[in-house]
Structure 1
Amino acid sequence: MSKEKTQNPPADRGQAVKLIIFVLGLGTLLPWNFFITASQYFNERLAPPNVTSNSSSGGTSKDYNYDSWMALLSQLPLLLFTLLNSFLYQWVRERLRVAFSLVVIFLLFALTAALVQVPMQADTFFSVTMATIWFINMCGAVLQGSLFGVVGLFPPCYSTLFMSGQGLAGIFAAFAMLFSILTKPDQSSAALGYFITPCVATLGTLLCYLLLPHLEFARFYLNRSQSDDVETTKELIGTTEKGLNNNQKHFQANGGLISEREESQERSSVLAVFKKIWLMALCVTCVFAVTLSVFPVITVQVRTVYKDNAAWNKVFTCVCCFIVFNVMDLLGRGAPSLVQWPSKESRWFPAAVFSRLVFIPLLMLCNIQGSNLTVLRHDSAFVVIMALFSFSNGYLASLCMSYAPQLVRCKDCETAGSLMTFFLVLGLAVGASFSFLLGKLVKTT
């Protein structure tokens, strides 16, 4: 057994495990991205064409503020259930958690697609949509936490691939939205096709996850912890059978009958793991808090200066906000596979993370409709700021998630991965809450 453990891992034939890890990353963020990029569809459903004529009656002209509520109600269940997953992951088998979450996400997407063809009152539609967002992100939290824990068992480059897959989810949704705008069939058919797409993708994610344990390369890493436990037990039994003298010496030296081998293989407590990764946890919280405080609540309000160009005006937000953000974010998430700077020990790393705060005022100074803060009017200024904003988001977040498992023992990688996911979601929740204030600030100045 000992010799087996020291062997090099088998080859990842055809890069199959890398591809599956990438697809799993894509699957975890599909729900969030498909709801965030469908902002126009939901806002139009919540503000039907006859709202103008009935605005004097009061109720039908209500501003539902979909974007802010969508962001907040996405992050609250993510925060709650990621925390729960961090402490209770040992009580429920990982395979059950992942499979159940993907099945529920598929059913909720199917419900959303079905509702496209169902006429509903705005209040009812808003309530159903918010409930769907709550439950789909509840399952997404369990799914994401579980998969980050699994990916933490693989070499660090697989964490980078997983994060890159998450970045692709945003591009996938953004181009789906652009396609629906450009093809211009009737609106309900476009929306129906838009929401059927993540249904198919979620099923594909589930199939990839079920295939993973059947690949030799994946089994080597997935079974390593279990093998360590078995080997430790055998070695302890063998040591006991050889005689009591060595154990007695160890007892006298350490105050207890615990061998060094046993001690080294015990899983650390959540608090002990947190003490080792707290800086990475703080950094990933800051990265996503800055991002979600302005994206999409502020960025979707930026308008092109070429208002007379009807075609460009129609796709400006989709291209310059969602597509630029998601493409550059994906490039940022993939960059650590080429270069990792600053290093995890460097003081420049937290400095780089906190320097992203400058993007909040920069984006608020762009050409936002109805704002008196506008200084950077041209489209190119907004595109450059968005590109740097999104690339730094993907790059620094990927480094945080890759560095954290390197700071703990192999046995604690799953705990570290789950904790980092919790703090990632904490950053999203903080940013979503702060976005209400920034949104009002832009509208009232």
Structure 2
Amino acid sequence: MLKGWWDRSIGGARRSSYDPVPTDRAADYEPFAEGSELLEDQSDGLAHGTSYFSWIDYWIILWMGVYMLWAWNMFLAAGVYFQQRFSSNDWTESNFQSSILTVYCLTNFAGSYLLARLQDRDAYSRRIYLSLILNLAVFTLLSFSTVLFTDVSAVTYFVFVMLMCFSTGTATALVQNGLFSYIGGFHQPRYIQGIMTGHSVAGVLPCIVQIISVLTLHAGDGDGDDADGAPQLGQSPQSAFTFFITATVVSAIALVLFHHLHRKAEALSLRKEIEIEIEDAAGADLTEKVPLKVLFHKLKWLSLAVALDFAITMFLPIYTNVIQSVHSHDDNNNNNNNLPPYLRQAAFVPLALLFWNGGDLLGRVFPVYPRLNIGDRPFTLFLASVARVLFIPIYISCNIRNRGAWISSDIFYLVIVQFLFGLSNGYIAGSTMMAANDWVEPHEREAAGGFMSMMLVAGLTAGSVFTFFVVV
């Protein structure tokens, strides 16, 4: 009975056609029932059928979702460190954040667009492997750059960071297109939700690592504060090295886990069985490419919703890196010497990102419950994305560069602004990505996964370009 409740609650019932979703959300696979062969097999991942489920596979896929966005969130959370490295040059210090966003997103979008057009099912796993190897190299170079090249000029280090952004943007495009398409072939909505949840975990963990690094530095060296009382990460190569090498470990674990998943899928021919059954049901040639305009026609409001959602989210790092604790303003005459370490800028920025990513994580979990999922109302999701633009003036009202806030409260900033902004992002992102498969034919689902990831990146790219026009 508990298993039946779980499958009804955690997104088990989804429809299989692209017509408007009926209110009862007819299942495209049978829920696991007591004594069924499917239930008996799922514990070891050997279930057969058009929609098997394995918790082992789910956690592997969730970790792949963590890996997918770890690089992105690592660059955001390392904003204070990069600011210290670029401080000797006014232009790089003022524009490094927008430059990182633009280079990363333009590269990611270009790669996602090209890969979405190719739709080569046999290449999906190879793209994932290539992404993992490329990011392993990038994260290793970034790690050692904090120890071996600390005396290079700001301009030289800026060029190096841009090259790393280009490389990891390429790697992200490969894994986004490859993983969404690869997992789409398993015909299991919960696996898609696992990827989206992994994205949020990737946002939470780097912030925690950054906060611990800063607080540990402060506790270990009481004289290492700057004029603002913030620990100087640039003077602690060990702290920055630990932060970046963590990304290398995440990639290495992802490589091992995906290799296990892929070998098991090949050995059991699970994906082949799924493809054959879907082909028989749909009566379509699975090798036929699906034009992007066809996918856009079927997924118009969902794709526009996810694109706009992430375009507005791109304003997050621009404001978060310059908003300070309101207590900094109150204690300004004392050079912030009386502030607790977690309220000083080096820790306050990742703390704010932690609240945002916590909301984002919760928002991505909500859609797995049918009563909270509005994937059958794409236009409503689009309107919700439009409404998120109201967060921008709220950010402007906060304590930007210690100029004072309209509402003098860190709780307001962290909970009402950051947490809710993240919650809305996660909910819209999770709802749109999970619902995409419901609005296309079964043989179009892999292509739909690549198309939706491309639209997500398109939103990130558009938002990153707009950030150049933001004056803070």
**TM-score of the pair, normalised by structure 2:** 0.78
For 1:306, the equivalent position in structure 2 comes to: 327
For 2:262, the equivalent position in structure 1 comes to: 213
Structure 1 contact 12–217 (Cα < 8 Å) conserved: no
SS in 1 for 2:318: coil
Of 134, 150, 168, which residue of structure 2 is paired with 1:104?
134
How far did 1:182 drift? 1.0
Of 290, 310, 324, which residue of structure 2 is paired with 1:288?
310
Of 144, 156, 177, which residue of structure 2 is paired with 1:145?
177
Q: In 2 relative to 1, CA 316–123 (structure 1 residues): closer, same or farther, beyond 3 Å?
A: closer
Q: In 2 relative to 1, CA 366–207 (structure 1 residues): closer, same or farther, beyond 3 Å?
A: same
For 1:417, the equivalent position in structure 2 comes to: 449
Give 2:292's aligned amino acid: V
- Report matched runs for 1:261-280 at 5 Å: 261-262=283-284, 268-280=290-302
Range moving further from structure 2, 218-227 or 137-146: 218-227
Q: Distance in 1 between matches of 2:454 and 2:118?
A: 13
Of 345, 360, 363, which residue of structure 1 is paired with 2:377?
345
Of 426, 440, 452, which residue of structure 2 is paired with 1:408?
440
How far did 1:345 drift? 3.0
Is structure 2 residue 73 aligned with structure 1 residue 33? Answer: yes
Q: In 2 relative to 1, CA 37–231 (structure 1 residues): closer, same or farther, beyond 3 Å?
A: same
Q: Distance in 1 between matches of 2:301 and 2:267?
A: 30
Q: Distance in 2 between matches of 1:310 and 1:346?
A: 45
Is structure 2 residue 390 aligned with structure 1 residue 330? Answer: no
Give 1:300's aligned amino acid: N
How far did 1:101 drift? 1.2
Q: Distance in 2 between matches of 1:216 and 1:92?
A: 13
For structure 1, list consecutive stretches of 5 or more residues without a partner in the other structure: 52-59, 233-259
Give 1:386's aligned amino acid: Q
SS in 1 for 2:430: helix
For structure 2, list consecutive stretches of 5 or more residues without a partner in the other structure: 1-28, 31-36, 45-53, 221-234, 332-338
Q: In 2 relative to 1, CA 89–160 (structure 1 residues): closer, same or farther, beyond 3 Å?
A: same
Q: Distance in 2 between matches of 1:80 and 1:404?
A: 22
Give 1:45's aligned amino acid: R
Structure 1 contact 177–318 (Cα < 8 Å) conserved: no
For 1:381, the equivalent position in structure 2 comes to: 412
Q: In 2 relative to 1, CA 324–226 (structure 1 residues): closer, same or farther, beyond 3 Å?
A: same
* Percentage of pairs with the same residue: 24
Q: In 2 relative to 1, CA 85–20 (structure 1 residues): closer, same or farther, beyond 3 Å?
A: same
Structure 2 contact 323–401 (Cα < 8 Å) conserved: yes
Q: In 2 relative to 1, CA 152–188 (structure 1 residues): closer, same or farther, beyond 3 Å?
A: same
For 1:365, the equivalent position in structure 2 comes to: 397
For 2:334, the equivalent position in structure 1 comes to: none
How far did 1:230 drift? 8.4
1:182-224 residue CA offsets vs partner (Å, 9 max, x unmatched) = 1116610111111111111101101111111344699575224
Give 1:322's aligned amino acid: L
Q: Distance in 1 between matches of 2:316 and 2:203?
A: 13
For 1:78, the equivalent position in structure 2 comes to: 108
Structure 1 contact 156–402 (Cα < 8 Å) conserved: yes
Q: In 2 relative to 1, CA 354–193 (structure 1 residues): closer, same or farther, beyond 3 Å?
A: same
Q: Distance in 1 between matches of 2:361 and 2:175?
A: 20
Structure 1 contact 24–205 (Cα < 8 Å) conserved: yes
Give 1:24's aligned amino acid: M
For 2:199, the equivalent position in structure 1 comes to: 166
Of 9, 12, 15, which residue of structure 1 is paired with 2:55?
15
Structure 2 contact 312–388 (Cα < 8 Å) conserved: yes
- Report matched runs for 1:394-405 at 5 Å: 394-405=426-437
Q: In 2 relative to 1, CA 428–265 (structure 1 residues): closer, same or farther, beyond 3 Å?
A: closer
Q: In 2 relative to 1, CA 34–261 (structure 1 residues): closer, same or farther, beyond 3 Å?
A: closer
SS in 2 for 1:377: coil
Q: CA RMSD in A?
A: 2.7
Q: In 2 relative to 1, CA 230–376 (structure 1 residues): closer, same or farther, beyond 3 Å?
A: closer
Is structure 2 residue 263 aligned with structure 1 residue 200? Answer: no
How far did 1:27 drift? 0.7
For 1:426, the equivalent position in structure 2 comes to: 458
Is structure 2 residue 348 aligned with structure 1 residue 317? Answer: yes
Give 1:330's aligned amino acid: L
Computing the radius of gyration from Cα coordinates, the structure with the larger value is 1
How far did 1:110 drift? 0.5
SS in 2 for 1:151: helix
SS in 2 for 1:120: coil
Give 1:367's aligned amino acid: N
1:9-29 residue CA offsets vs partner (Å, 9 max, x unmatched) = 841437101111101100101
For 1:155, the equivalent position in structure 2 comes to: 188
Q: Distance in 2 between matches of 1:347 and 1:130?
A: 37
How far did 1:296 drift? 0.6
- Report matched runs for 1:111-190 at 5 Å: 111-117=141-147, 118=149, 119-153=151-185, 154-184=187-217, 187-190=236-239
